[in-house]
Amino acid sequence: MGQIPDAKAMARALRNALGDKQVTLSHSECLEIVAKQFGAENWNVLAARIEAEQSAATQPEKSAVRFSDAIPILRIFDVEKAKEFYVGFLGFTIDWEHRFGDDFPLYAQVSRADIKLHLSEHHGDASPGSTVFVWMRGIADYHRELTAKKYRYYRPGLEDAAWDAKMMQVADPFGNRLRFSEPNAADDPRA
């Protein structure tokens, strides 16, 4: 791609320009159009390319092999229940949502601090019952935050884990588990 585009800004500009001409498109539809302009099959493909370019631009040259963040995909079956759990309870933010059309399955990204999760209603994307392991700092504060919400479906505990860490596990309404863990040693590089 050469230069890293601000594709989201381009989609907003396109939507605003079309709106001025009384043509109404959703932000998601405009993202798809921008993706096509860059020769990408869809927005998800373009977003991955942009993220890879940004990652490559910030890493020193050492090897041709590069890895970026691993982003787990979790299967969901009910958008409202997923939002209630991931946004309302866990405090994540919806970064973007994508559907190929009306009445199509949702594919979305949620994030909080440095963690990103993809939530998908698509049949082949993931199996329910997955576990995501997350190293973090501030687990006692996060535990207090979650228990204070008095979420009717889950009240997580905080326990000592066998791997010399504190651990809090939560399960979403679809059987997926998130295992938040903080090393006991303050200088442990894992979190």
pLDDT per residue over 156-184, tens digit each?
Answer: 999 999 989 999 999 999 999 999 999 99
- The confidence score (pLDDT) of residue 40 equals 81
Least confident interval from 5-9, 30-34, 120-124, 146-150: 5-9
Average pLDDT of span 37-65: 77
* Residue 34: closest CA among 54, 8, 52, 53: 8
Same domain (yes/no): 90, 148: yes
What pairs with residue 75 in β-bridges?
Answer: 120
Same domain (yes/no): 17, 45: yes
Which CATH number do you get for residue 115?
Answer: 3.10.180.10
Same domain (yes/no): 32, 121: no
**Domain with 159 in it:** 73-183
- Work out the mean pLDDT of the chain and round it to a whole number: 87
Dist. CA 178–CA 134, nearest whole Å: 7
Same domain (yes/no): 157, 81: yes
Same domain (yes/no): 47, 78: no
In a domain, 191, yes or no: no
In a domain, 2, yes or no: no
- The confidence score (pLDDT) of residue 61 equals 62
Given a cut of 70, whether residue 142 has pLDDT beyond it is yes
Is the full-model pTM beyond 0.75? no
In a domain, 141, yes or no: yes
In a domain, 129, yes or no: yes
In a domain, 64, yes or no: no
Same domain (yes/no): 173, 90: yes
Contact 5, 14 (CB under 8 A): no
Higher pLDDT, 88 or 185: 88
In a domain, 161, yes or no: yes
- Order across the sheet with 107-112: list the strands: 73-75, 115-120, 107-112, 93-98
pLDDT tens figures, 61-109: 667 887 878 899 999 999 999 999 999 999 999 999 999 999 899 999 9
Same domain (yes/no): 84, 127: yes
Average pLDDT of span 118-124: 93
- The confidence score (pLDDT) of residue 66 equals 78
Same domain (yes/no): 88, 167: yes
Same domain (yes/no): 164, 82: yes
In a domain, 166, yes or no: yes
Same domain (yes/no): 49, 80: no
How many structural domains is the chain composed of? 2
